Amino acid sequence: MATLLSHLQQRPPLLRQAIKIRRRRVRDLQDPLPQTAPEIQPPSHHFSPEQRALLYEDALYTVLHRLGQPEPNHVTEASELLRYLQEAFHVEPEEHQQALQSVRELEKPVFCLKATVKQAKGILGKDVSGFSDPYCLLGIEQGVGVPGGSPGSRHRQKAVVRHTIPEEQTHRTQVITQTLNPVWDETFILEFEDITNASFHLDMWDLDTVESVRQKLGELTDLHGLRRIFKEARKDKGQDDFLGNVVLRLQVLTLMGWASPPARTCTAERTSGTPWNPALRPTQTAASATSSSNSSTSGEPPQPAARSPATRCTSTFCSSSCPTRSPSTRQWLAYSRLYQSLEFPSSCLLHPITSIEYQWIQGRLKAEQQEELAASFSSLLAYGLSLIRRFRSVFPLSVSDSPARLQSLLRVLVQMCKMKAFGELCSNTAPLPQLVTEALQTGTTEWFHLKQQHHQPMVQGILEAGKALLGLVQDVIGDLHQCQRTWDKIFHNTLKIHLFSMAFRELQWLVAKRVQDHTTAVGDAVSPEMGESLFQLYISLKELCQLRPSSSERDGVLALDNFHRWFQPAIPSWLQKTYNVALARVQRAVQMDELVPLGELTKHSTSAVDLSTCFAQISHTARQLDWPDPEEAFMITVKFVEDTCRLALVYCSLIKARARELSSGQKDQGQAANMLCVVVNDMEQLRLVIGKLPTQLAWEALEQRVGAVLEQGQLQNTLHAQLQSALAGLGHEIRTGVRTLAEQLEVGIAKHIQKLVGVRESVLPEDAILPLMKFLEVELCYMNTNLVKENFSSLLTLLWTHTLTVLVEAAASQRSSTLASNRLKIALQNLEICFHAEGCGLPPEALHTATFQALQRDLELQAASSRELIRKYFCSRIQQQAETTSEELGAVTVKACYRASEQKLRVELLSASSLLPLDSNGSSDPFVQLTLEPRHEFPELAARETQKHKKDLHPLFDETFEFLVPAEPCRKAGACLLLTVLDHDTLGADDLEGEAFLPLCEVPGLSGSEEPGDVPQTRLPLTYPAPNGDPILQLLEGRKGDREAQVFVRLRRHRAKQASQHALRPAP
């Protein structure tokens, strides 16, 4: 059985639940409305023009939206009824057209179909047992076909309800298990807007549950059941079976009266959709339409029953005198009570208001009727205010017609409060806007506390409380969005009440109090988990504050002003959390990177792209934070820049480690080199990303904000200096990143250098270094092709440093081998030429490092002969003598000249001064020993000595010595006169006072052919040998087979030992 109802507003989804006998019982309790007694209308001359125009519009609305198919002897065309109304009301054509146009623009009625699913007989058995578990799906499909057509005219669908009609508009009966003749007897209310193209669909299904084969075999009764098992095996598990459907075109349903029709397989009942009107009321008669039995699966609509006098819908004007209680009063009292107890369109309450107001003005209401009206006014007002107070739950936006229903309620209350009857009967009632405002304020507070209880955590704890508060704030934001977008317009248009402004003012105060209490409870010690919760809460509060109404809609200072100060202790935790998340993402990106270029034109890999996204996320977090305080915002930006630069350096370390990890398993050295080149390209891409920080973090806007707080140039000196330092460090990391690439070549370089040292003695040094030079030529050409100039230069620098290190190690291991040292020396010279590459490689200043210079000196020494080393030793002592200016050990004064004609070197030892007292008596017994060095250059000349002076620290020797020696050896580098000042000891060895070296090449007479004239005095400070040992002496000491070298080393070691036994003493 199905019944069509019509109303102006759509019912909420709650009516989509089964509305069974309870609805019928409620309807029986209502005051029965008279169906046959004519309604007495007052004479037309008693109506005011406004009331007459309203009555005329109601009549037009009834005709335009009439339902049903009239009988042949009745008026069928709406135009004829409209002309009849125009003549009856004596309306001019122009006025008639205006009223008709106004009525057509009004909202169309929304219909409800009341459908009762009774039973089904002889349905198909789909289960193995031969029975089914049937249930029905009901729904109305709107907008299908053209007027007058049928559902069968389009492509037939078996399951229209399940596959076409939205789920929220679908209704379902209970499942009747294991039967072929189910009985439901369930009633539903289905809503639709357009009856012209609407079709009622009822699909019947067999519920299938997932069962094992063993269970199905246990239910098997015959061969048909076995065939069903095989059929079910071909379909998805748990898929329901389609049993059939019923389709009814609502337009072709015949009209029924209020009496219930007899129950059939599918019965439809429809009443007029015209709303109640105190002046024009349509009467309803009944008829029935039946569909085929046994749940036909056909999509064709059922044919109507044979035409009878009952299949008609007529509208008549009824006129009589007013009864004791007028129909409008009875209708108001009944509807107002019904609205408070049952779901009912509030728009129906608008219609009796005009008649009641008219009767009040005419004074036709008795005292007891006035009391009833006053009680109904007060009751409806109280109930309406209670609904308004709870409008968030009573009119949820999840139901599409909620705004319209709330607006209808407000219109009813406004119209009721405007009535003179209401003003006189309820004179002590406050103005409606004031009552509604108070109700909204109370309801907002109650809603907030209800939401607070809803979010109350099950486990008590500060972290759980933070999560609950976050959920509460988000609910508040959502509610304010709804108020701003939907509810505020309704209340402002109806009552001039700014709901959004009022709700924001109330809710922000409540939220501020709880947030402040929560942050106080958290304190200054903020854990990472609590910091994350506080950050989400901070972001939500920023979003909440962004909703604040304009200054014209609010007064005073808001409680949430400067709320950011409550979160100051959490800032370090937020910054650390941002860094940790970014670091984890960088680590994960590097770990997943295979170091393969993304494309032919894109030389970097996936991790570089992920890193760019990671840095963009940091910038997004900074924009989210957007700290209001300028000075603190500056410090936060400094921290973000610092963390970003730190992440860049971490990425460099990780990507290099990843390259080493992947290269360790690569047997193909070329593939490993390609991966390492990608690493360098990734670092270059990172440098470009870091350079975009000023734009991503909006430094210009920050500089404008902090301009009045910071000193001029402070931002430039801090952020920009920090960025430049990071870029410089990143550039260093790029060069260092080439280290991994260089390591692949360093192995080959070390290998060839070791072979160079171990080659047999007969091979020439130039031939021995040839494999090393070929290896470098091939590898360096490859790297120069795959790397940019800057990175190639970095690679050369690393390789050069490593090569020097290997050469130093090789030179240290071959100190005693003159041949190997000579080969290393020649190799160093050729490597210098190779890495310079005629100006295309490293510049000279990059080649001639301290290591290179020291290695060059060491190799020159190691490759030299013993006599050459002795000569170099004296050269170094002469250099030491020239650099010594202090006379802490004393000094000697000599005059020396060379007479070329006699080939004699004349030395006049004048004196010594400020000698150290080496004897126990506080004095010394000095004398001077004179020798020409090196001895191999002057083998025939014996050492000379001066006389010994007793107890004299400033002896005057005034002795002359002549050495017969050719000029040529005297001119050689290292040739010198060694003056050794000794303290004579009678019982033991003489003590060393110091040594002085006079270079012979500077002696007058050796530089030219002329004889020297006046010979100047030369004062030579005394020196000691080096306490840590001379490297030349160490090389000579290692040459055990060279007697001359060993004699020289023993003498010099003895002198060094003597020097170490005497501490420096101040001159007397």
Write out 827-841 in H/E/C secondary structure.
HHHHHHHHHHHHHCC
How much is the pLDDT for 551? Answer: 58
How much is the pLDDT for 558? Answer: 85
CB-count burial class (<10 Å; 0-12, 13-18, 19+) for 296: middle
Non-local (6+) Cβ contacts of 778 within 8 A are none
| Region for residue 713 given its phi and psi (left: phi exceeds 0; alpha: psi -120 to 50; beta: otherwise) | left
398 is written with which tokens? 């999840």
How much is the pLDDT for 226? Answer: 55
pLDDT band for 302, please (50, 70, 90 cuts): very low
How much is the pLDDT for 659? Answer: 79
Condensed to tens digits (0 to 9), the pLDDT of residues 912-924 reads 999 999 888 889 9
Q: Say which residue, 274 or 103, is predicted with more confidence.
A: 103
Lowest-confidence region among 495-504, 529-538, 737-746: 737-746
Q: Which residues pair with 172 in a beta bridge?
A: 137
| Phi, psi dihedrals of residue 185, rounded to the nearest 5° | 55, 55
How much is the pLDDT for 212? Answer: 54
Q: What's the whole-number mean pLDDT along residues 376-397? A: 92
Q: From CA 449, how far away is CA 174, in angstroms rounded?
A: 38
Q: What is the DSSP letter of 972?
A: S
How much is the pLDDT for 449? Answer: 94
How much is the pLDDT for 223? Answer: 52
Q: From CA 166, how far away is CA 170, in angstroms rounded?
A: 7
pLDDT band for 272, please (50, 70, 90 cuts): very low
Cα three-residue angle 718-721-727, rounded to 5 degrees: 135
650 is written with which tokens? 């971490």
Q: From CA 410, how far away is CA 427, in angstroms rounded?
A: 20
Average pLDDT, the chain: 78
Among 889, 902, 880, which residue's Cα sits nearest to residue 963? 902
Condensed to tens digits (0 to 9), the pLDDT of residues 1040-1066 reads 888 888 888 888 888 888 888 775 444
Q: From CA 289, how far away is CA 557, in angstroms rounded?
A: 68
How much is the pLDDT for 252? Answer: 67
Q: Is the pLDDT of residue 373 over 50?
A: yes
Q: What's the whole-number mean pLDDT along residues 583-612? A: 85
pLDDT band for 323, please (50, 70, 90 cuts): very low
160 is written with which tokens? 């229209």
H or E element that contains 164:
none
Lowest-confidence region among 493-502, 731-740, 947-956: 731-740
Q: Per mean pLDDT, which of 451-455, 521-525, 787-791, 1037-1041 is the most reliable?
A: 451-455
Pairing of strands 956-964, 199-206: unpaired
Non-local (6+) Cβ contacts of 486 within 8 A are 397, 403
Condensed to tens digits (0 to 9), the pLDDT of residues 823-875 reads 888 888 889 888 888 888 899 998 999 999 988 888 888 888 888 888 988 99
Among 547, 653, 641, 646, which residue's Cα sits nearest to residue 607? 653
Q: From CA 392, how far away is CA 488, in angstroms rounded?
A: 13
Q: What's the whole-number mean pLDDT along residues 978-992? A: 89
How much is the pLDDT for 144? Answer: 59
Q: What's the whole-number mean pLDDT along residues 496-519? A: 92
How much is the pLDDT for 947? Answer: 93
How much is the pLDDT for 295? Answer: 37
Q: From CA 187, how far away is CA 618, in angstroms rounded?
A: 59
Considering Cα of 516, then 518, then 524, then 529, what sign does the dihedral take?
A: negative
| Region for residue 895 given its phi and psi (left: phi exceeds 0; alpha: psi -120 to 50; beta: otherwise) | beta
Cβ atoms within 10 Å, residue 949? 20
Among 586, 696, 578, which residue's Cα sits nearest to residue 649? 586
Helix then strand then coil, % of the chain, to nearest 5: 55, 10, 35
Non-local (6+) Cβ contacts of 130 within 8 A are 221, 222, 224, 225
Return the axis-axis angle of helices 789-813 and 818-836, rounded to nearest 10°.
Answer: 170
Cα three-residue angle 803-807-810, rounded to 5 degrees: 140
703, 665 Cβ separation under 8 angstroms: no
Lowest-confidence region among 214-223, 951-960, 1039-1048: 214-223
Q: From CA 884, how far away is CA 1020, in angstroms rounded?
A: 9
How much is the pLDDT for 431? Answer: 93
Q: Which residues pair with 1018 in a beta bridge?
A: 894
How much is the pLDDT for 79? Answer: 84
Q: Which residues pair with 999 in a beta bridge?
A: 976
pLDDT band for 964, please (50, 70, 90 cuts): very high
How much is the pLDDT for 364? Answer: 73
Condensed to tens digits (0 to 9), the pLDDT of residues 538-567 reads 999 999 998 888 754 445 678 888 888 999
pLDDT band for 612, please (50, 70, 90 cuts): confident
Query: pTM score, two decimals?
Result: 0.48
What percent of the chain is modeled with pLDDT above 70?
A: 80
C-alpha separations of 695 from 611, 617, 690, 699, 702 in Å: 17, 14, 10, 7, 11
Instruction: Specify the 3-state DSSP secondary structure of 115.
Output: strand
Residues, the chain: 1068
How much is the pLDDT for 743? Answer: 79
Instruction: Specify the 3-state DSSP secondary structure of 718.
Output: helix
| Phi, psi dihedrals of residue 1027, rounded to the nearest 5° | -70, -30
pLDDT band for 998, please (50, 70, 90 cuts): very high
Q: What's the whole-number mean pLDDT along residues 804-810? A: 89
How much is the pLDDT for 928? Answer: 95
CB-count burial class (<10 Å; 0-12, 13-18, 19+) for 178: middle
Condensed to tens digits (0 to 9), the pLDDT of residues 308-318 reads 322 222 232 23
Q: Is the pLDDT of residue 1020 over 90?
A: yes
How much is the pLDDT for 66? Answer: 74
Q: Is the pLDDT of residue 1029 over 80?
A: no
Among 635, 650, 846, 637, which residue's Cα sits nearest to residue 730? 650
CB-count burial class (<10 Å; 0-12, 13-18, 19+) for 478: exposed
How much is the pLDDT for 234? Answer: 55
Q: Is the pLDDT of residue 38 over 70?
A: no
Q: What strand order describes the sheet that includes 241-249?
A: 171-172, 134-141, 199-206, 241-249
C-alpha separations of 534 from 423, 565, 566, 571, 949 in Å: 53, 12, 10, 10, 93
| Phi, psi dihedrals of residue 195, rounded to the nearest 5° | -80, -20
What percent of the chain is modeled with pLDDT above 90?
A: 23
305, 290 Cβ separation under 8 angstroms: yes
User: Per the omega criterion (within 30 degrees of 0), is the bond before 934 cis?
Assistant: yes
Q: Say which residue, 815 or 928, is predicted with more confidence.
A: 928
Q: From CA 51, how far away is CA 837, in angstroms rounded?
A: 108
Instruction: Specify the 3-state DSSP secondary structure of 667.
Output: coil
576, 570 Cβ separation under 8 angstroms: no
How much is the pLDDT for 646? Answer: 86
Q: Is the pLDDT of residue 65 over 50?
A: yes
Q: What's the whole-number mean pLDDT along residues 448-475? A: 90
How much is the pLDDT for 237? Answer: 53
pLDDT band for 615, please (50, 70, 90 cuts): confident
63, 366 Cβ separation under 8 angstroms: no
Condensed to tens digits (0 to 9), the pLDDT of residues 647-690 reads 888 888 888 888 778 877 666 666 777 777 788 888 888 888 88
Per-position DSSP letters for 533-570, written without gaps between them: HHHHHHHHHHHHHHTPPPGGG--S--TTTTGGGGGGGG
How much is the pLDDT for 68? Answer: 61
pLDDT band for 58, please (50, 70, 90 cuts): confident
520 is written with which tokens? 């106080």
Q: What's the whole-number mean pLDDT along residues 236-263? A: 63
Q: What's the whole-number mean pLDDT along residues 50-61? A: 82
Q: What's the whole-number mean pLDDT along residues 756-784? A: 83
Lowest-confidence region among 351-360, 401-410, 951-960: 351-360
Q: From CA 268, how far away is CA 291, in angstroms rounded?
A: 9
Q: Is the pLDDT of residue 41 over 80?
A: no
Condensed to tens digits (0 to 9), the pLDDT of residues 79-133 reads 888 888 888 888 888 888 888 888 888 877 777 788 889 999 989 888 878 889 9
E strands present in 965-1017 = 976-983, 991-999
Q: What's the whole-number mean pLDDT along residues 134-144? A: 86
C-alpha separations of 350 from 63, 336, 411, 412 in Å: 20, 10, 8, 6
